[in-house]
Amino acid sequence: MEFVRVDIQGGIARVTIDRQSKLNALNAQVLDELESCFEDLKNKADARIIIITGGGDKSFVAGADISQFPSLSSAEAYQFSIRGQTVFSLIESSLKPVIAAVNGFALGGGCELALACHLRYASTEARFGQPEVKLGVIAGYGGTQRLPRLIGLGQALDLLMSGRMVGADEALGMGLVNGIFDGAELMEKVEEVARVILKQGPQAVAFTLKAAYAGAGRPLAEGLAIEAAAFRDVFETEDRIEGATAFLERRPPEFKNR
Ligand code: COA
């Protein structure tokens, strides 16, 4: 792969989008590479949690590649949106947790990529925004839908209609990110977060993601039914016996991901 690197160590897969000459903007090839990378990671037992970051120290992802925009017909624009949405939905539907380590500009498709991740941590230098309206277009990789769901309609419309960029502190205040770390320490700190999750029952973490996303946006009663079914299914796993037994025996659990 030319623009997407994967490095797996200690259960953590670090995915780096590296197209620094264009601030890691997403063209069709980057999307293809991201898709095949996430398809591969599904089946890699040594990758239990995934961190996505941007190559270099300036940008996470500066958006979809704008150079493609002028020649797009409206029919092609529709396919362009569906393509990005499909790849980001693949990421969001991962049953291995996906964490965005936002190390710089997360604009347009870059902000939308972070939104499709399960957790987001920013460096102090990170800048977030949905500047599509400045180009006379709208967010098309999930921004008009995932941003309101994450931070509320009012705050989302502020970003989506003004196109303004916000720094890490403002993003934290809006609930757009889970935490902020110094740039030099970002990856190390995000890996610490990942290692805490890695200690938990992997099946339990996967069922948590499944239930939370399946219920999101549905009426509470439907969400609770989804939760009860997931709670039932997790009791089919071996790890839940190990979890309770280890607690009663006052020792750390040894989960087998079964
Ligand atoms: N698509 C295509 N190319 C992009 C890009 C994008 N989304 N974002 C940055 N680039 C390219 C620039 O065209 C430039 O390429 P060049 O050197 O061949 O001319 C290179 O990346 C560096 O960007 P530059 O604008 O010179 O850096 P900067 O530090 O002055 O500004 C940004 C950084 C992020 C503020 C600015 O690049 C920007 O506004 N990018 C577009 C963000 C955006 O609107 N994203 C949403 C797209 S829908």
What angle, rounded to 10 degrees, do the helices at 202-215 and 239-248 form? 120
- Local confidence band at 72 (pLDDT 50, 70, 90 cut-offs): very high
Q: What is the CATH number of domain 4-198?
A: 3.90.226.10
- The confidence score (pLDDT) of residue 111 equals 98
Mean pLDDT of 241-255: 96
Q: Which amino acid is at 221?
A: A
Whole-angstrom distance, CA of residue 230 vs CA of residue 215 = 11
pLDDT digit string (tens) for 119-170?
Answer: 999 999 999 999 999 999 999 999 999 999 999 999 999 999 999 999 999 9
Q: Are 141 and 93 in contact (CB under 8 A)?
A: no
Distance from Cα 23 to the centre of ligand 1, integer Å: 6
- Percentage above 70 pLDDT, the chain: 100
Q: Where in the chain is the domain with CATH 3.90.226.10?
A: 4-198
CB-based contacts of 39, cutoff 8 Å, min separation 6: 90
Distance from Cα 226 to the centre of ligand 1, integer Å: 42
- The confidence score (pLDDT) of residue 234 equals 97
CA distances from 230 to 29, 94, 120, 217 (A): 37, 16, 25, 17
Q: Where in the chain is the domain with CATH 1.10.12?
A: 202-248
**Active-site option among 33, 132, 185, 236:** 132
Q: Are 120 and 176 in contact (CB under 8 A)?
A: yes
Q: Which residues in 182-216 are b (16+ Cβ under 10 Å) and which e? A: ebeebbebbbebbeebbeebbbbbbbbbbbeebbe
Any ligand 1 atom below 6 A from CB of 67 = yes
Q: Which amino acid is at 206?
A: A
- The confidence score (pLDDT) of residue 237 equals 97
Q: Are 200 and 208 in contact (CB under 8 A)?
A: no
Q: Which amino acid is at 189?
A: K
- The confidence score (pLDDT) of residue 87 equals 98
- Local confidence band at 220 (pLDDT 50, 70, 90 cut-offs): very high
| Residue 222 is a catalytic residue | no
pLDDT digit string (tens) for 91-126?
Answer: 999 999 999 999 999 999 999 999 999 999 999 999
Any ligand 1 atom below 6 A from CB of 112 = no
- The confidence score (pLDDT) of residue 246 equals 96
Paired strand residues for 13: 8, 50
Residue 97, token pair as written in the block: 């947790």
Between 1.20.120, 3.30.70, 1.10.12, 3.50.70, what CATH number should domain 202-248 receive?
1.10.12
Compute the mean pLDDT over every residue in the chain, rounded to the nearest whole number: 97
Rounded to two decimals, the pTM is 0.97
Distance from Cα 218 to the centre of ligand 1, integer Å: 38
**Active-site option among 112, 188, 236, 254:** 112
Q: Are 158 and 130 in contact (CB under 8 A)?
A: no
Mean pLDDT of 44-73: 97
